[in-house]
Amino acid sequence: MIYFVTGNKGKFVEARAIIDDLEQRNIGYTEVQADSLEEVATFGIAEVMRKLASPAIIEDAGLFIDHLQGFPGVYSAYVFDTIGNQGILKLMAGVENRRAVFRSVVCYGEPGMEPRFFRGEMEGRIGYAPRGEGGFGYDPIFEVEERTLGEMSLEEKNRISHRARSMMALKEWLDLGRP
């Protein structure tokens, strides 16, 4: 059993569809202001290890928009809670270059070992209006091949998403016996 420390039910559902041996724990940890997802995850997993002292993962993800020089990036959750999808669409009004990348870093920790990182990325673009009822967060405005993530089923999203890719990398490592 591996604890996935998150308060985000959507993240847990996506991860559990890939790795059966996960249990959600919403114990919270400090998300430091940092320049990279890896820095946030490193600080977070150290705190989680002090609290749990058992195998655990945390995941940090961000939406990096080219026209906005990578914003909201590591601040994606805060920005979503503050201005939401409508705020991002307002920032992108009149912009032609709508390229964006979702990045995910999963950090695995267990007592007595250095944390391991698993990364995933998905390229797409910011749409012009929210579409779809699926997913969470920025999913209704993030387009991949003319569809938003919000228009995809969990199975479809988990074939291509940044989080699925980082979780699959973790799963492969676990299946290999943690070399």
The residue from 21, 60, 66, 81 that is catalytic is 60
Q: Enumerate helices (H) and strands (E) in the chain, giving the number of each.
A: 5, 8
Q: Is 60 in the active site?
A: yes
Question: How many CA atoms, within 13 angstroms, populate the side-chain half-sphere of residue 166?
Answer: 27
CA dist 74 and 2 (Å) reads 25
CA dist 32 and 150 (Å) reads 29
Instruction: Using the structure block, give the residue that is written with the tokens 């290890």.
Output: 49
CA dist 177 and 89 (Å) reads 44
Encoded tokens for 113: 């070992």
Encoded tokens for 50: 């002090």
Nearest C-alpha neighbor of 83 from the set 68, 101, 102: 68
Q: Which residues are the active-site residues? A: 60
